[in-house]
């Protein structure tokens, strides 16, 4: 599995046939002592909470702003939601974040229940919409309209069949997720029931599901030891047992420990991805100097 090395985000080459797409970013309020607790053991509660807030604000800005025209065109049918906890801090959090995000609160006793609730909530939102909004294609990397392009046979849709809708979820622990990451996930969903972005700690940083496959995905959210290194392997096992076609993204690092954070800072020093330069500057302001490994 290839680890993400922050390559230049060259557009993907194929046109994908999908309808409406909703991206949810799970986040919680950055109360010191309640977030990034493993980082806090090295940095202190306040600094660790500010690192978490920095990641969250960076993702809100980078995934809500136009920084590559081809990707922005391709993601024109993407709606964005922040799936937040706790509900008591929702109003305060909304005051600090702008952009094209709507907000909803997390529902459920554990992470699996909360994710399952979000996927069904987002899919129900599609069902309540106007079907006339459905039949359009993502544009290809050149910006040309999808219907004018040749379609790969494994992605073809019978004439008159509405394109599939899809729901994706990411967390706030992997600040290198970009528009291009989302576009590659959408590309996989044009050919698969679900897509997973594997994390180096044994979890995942992204999960996307086509809505027609959602009822076969309940096992992905139950009886999983969340926050363990078994999350990815058990999720893949359950998906395979249910006959789901799986697309895999590149390996990325969640940032949970001081070693993860130092590795991120080393990578940010040399990246050519301009949307990450601001993240590097904010981390340098928050944190003591770090010597590259």
The answer to whether residue 86 is domain-embedded is: yes
Tokens of 76: 């024109």
Burial class (CB in 10 A: 0-12, 13-18, 19+), 207: buried
Integer Cα distance of 260 and 254 in angstroms: 7
pLDDT at 109 over 60: yes
- In this prediction, residue 125 carries a pLDDT of 85
- In this prediction, residue 156 carries a pLDDT of 40
Q: What percent of the chain has pLDDT over 90?
A: 66
Rounded-to-5 percentages of helix, strand, coil across the chain: 40, 15, 40
- Beta 194-198 vs 204-210: how paired, if at all? antiparallel
**Selection from 58, 39, 59, 57 nearest residue 49 by Cα:** 39
Show the domain range for 193. Answer: 21-148+157-257
- In this prediction, residue 3 carries a pLDDT of 60
More confident residue, 150 or 16: 16
pLDDT digits (tens, 9 = 90+) for 271-283: 988 889 999 999 9
Tokens of 201: 């700690």
The answer to whether residue 46 is domain-embedded is: yes
Q: What is the residue-averaged pLDDT of the chain?
A: 82
Query: Residues 138-144: what's their mean pLDDT?
Result: 32
Integer Cα distance of 61 and 98 in angstroms: 8
The answer to whether residue 131 is domain-embedded is: yes
- In this prediction, residue 162 carries a pLDDT of 62
The answer to whether residue 284 is domain-embedded is: no
- Domain with residue 68: its CATH number is 3.90.550.10
Q: How many structural domains are present in the chain?
A: 1
pLDDT at 70 over 90: no
pLDDT at 146 over 60: no
- In this prediction, residue 157 carries a pLDDT of 42
The answer to whether residue 273 is domain-embedded is: no
Integer Cα distance of 28 and 34 in angstroms: 9
pLDDT at 149 over 90: no
- In this prediction, residue 290 carries a pLDDT of 76
pLDDT digits (tens, 9 = 90+) for 225-271: 999 999 999 999 999 999 999 999 999 999 999 999 999 999 999 99
Residue 18: pLDDT band by 50, 70, 90 thresholds?
Answer: confident
pLDDT digits (tens, 9 = 90+) for 213-223: 999 999 999 99
The answer to whether residue 137 is domain-embedded is: yes
pLDDT digits (tens, 9 = 90+) for 175-222: 999 988 999 999 999 999 999 999 999 999 999 999 999 999 999 999
The answer to whether residue 289 is domain-embedded is: no
pLDDT at 147 over 50: no
The answer to whether residue 236 is domain-embedded is: yes
């Amino acid at each position: 599995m290839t680890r993400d090395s922050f390559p230049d985000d060259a557009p993907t080459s194929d046109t994908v046939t999908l309808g409406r797409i909703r991206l949810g970013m799970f986040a919680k309020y950055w109360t010191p002592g309640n977030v990034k607790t493993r980082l806090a053991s090295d940095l202190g509660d306040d600094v660790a909470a500010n690192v978490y807030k920095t990641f969250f604000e960076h993702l809100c800005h980078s995934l809500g702003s136009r920084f590559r025209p081809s990707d922005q065109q391709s993601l024109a049918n993407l709606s964005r939601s922040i799936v937040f906890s706790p509900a008591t801090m929702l109003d305060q959090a909304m005051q600090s974040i702008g952009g094209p995000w709507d907000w909803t609160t997390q529902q459920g006793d554990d992470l699996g229940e909360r994710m399952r609730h979000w996927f069904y909530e987002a899919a129900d939102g599609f069902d309540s919409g106007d079907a006339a909004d459905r039949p359009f294609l993502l544009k290809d990397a050149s910006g040309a309209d999808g219907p004018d392009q040749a379609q790969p046979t494994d992605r073809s849709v019978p004439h008159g069949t509405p394109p599939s809708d899809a729901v994706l979820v990411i967390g706030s622990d992997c600040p290198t997720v970009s528009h291009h990451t989302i576009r590659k996930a959408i590309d996989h969903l044009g050919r698969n029931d679900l897509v997973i972005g594997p994390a180096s700690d044994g979890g995942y940083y992204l999960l996307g599901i086509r809505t027609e496959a959602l009822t076969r995905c309940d096992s992905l959210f139950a009886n999983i030891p969340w926050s363990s290194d078994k999350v990815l392997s058990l999720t893949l096992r359950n998906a395979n047992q249910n006959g789901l076609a799986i697309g895999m993204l590149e390996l990325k690092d969640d940032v949970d420990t001081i070693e993860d954070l130092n590795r991120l800072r080393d990578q940010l020093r040399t990246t050519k991805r301009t949307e990450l330069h601001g993240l590097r500057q904010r981390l340098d302001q928050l944190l003591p100097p770090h010597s590259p490994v």
